[in-house]
Amino acid sequence: MEKATFGAGCFWGVEAAFRRVPGVIDTAVGFMGGATADPTYEEVCTDRTGHAEVVHLIYDPARISYEDLLRIFWECHDPTTPNRQGWDVGTQYRSAIFYHTPEQRTKAEASGEAMNRSGRFGRPIVTEITPASEFYRAEEYHQRYLEKQGRTICHI
């Protein structure tokens, strides 16, 4: 099993999308990339912790490739809007790929460059590609939030 971590705006819809993917074994929503240790959702929402809302995946690389996870990441949000997704504004909503291995970094950078060259989004991609740091799991009521509500957002 391997790990992957993505920030693509509000974590609820992104988690719901990845949970449906064969080969994704587990998901958790939380925070990564900031300076505050063990932040609460309320602290992250102040836009002062430096953390992004992320979905942290455990996946089986024999069933789904990291490249396929990247494809889903690009489809689930607008990677051209710095520090926002739709109505959600703040650094916690930034587009980010947190890589866990040098191979993930190489694949993420190549994927981002290919997306930029494709012109698919009409604007340059601003996705941050940085090393994974400590993952802080969000409060339990955020886990599988849309599933608990009987809703989904991201359609892949």
Average pLDDT for 48-64 = 97
What mean pLDDT is predicted for residues 83-91? 92
Domain 2-149: which topology? Answer: Peptide Methionine Sulfoxide Reductase; Chain A (3.30.1060)
Q: CA dist 119 to 111, 116, 125, Å?
A: 13, 6, 10
In whole angstroms, how large is the CA radius of gyration of the chain? 14
Query: 123-152: per-residue pLDDT in tens?
Result: 999 999 999 999 999 998 889 877 777 765
Angle at 122 between CA 72 and CA 12, to 5 degrees: 35
Distance, CA of 71 to CA of 143 (rounded, Å): 23
Concerning whether 10 is annotated as a catalytic residue, the answer is yes
Question: For the chain, which residues make up each domain, given as ranges?
Answer: 2-149
Q: How far is CA 99 from CA 96, 130, 133, 149, in A?
A: 9, 6, 9, 30
Q: Which of 7-16, 18-27, 88-97 is least confident? A: 7-16
Amino acid 12: pLDDT: 87
pLDDT computed for residue 156 by the predictor: 47
Q: What is the pLDDT of residues 61-84, one digit of tens each?
A: 999 999 999 999 999 999 999 999
10, 45, 76, 154: the active-site residue? 10
The encoded tokens of residue 33 equal 């990339």
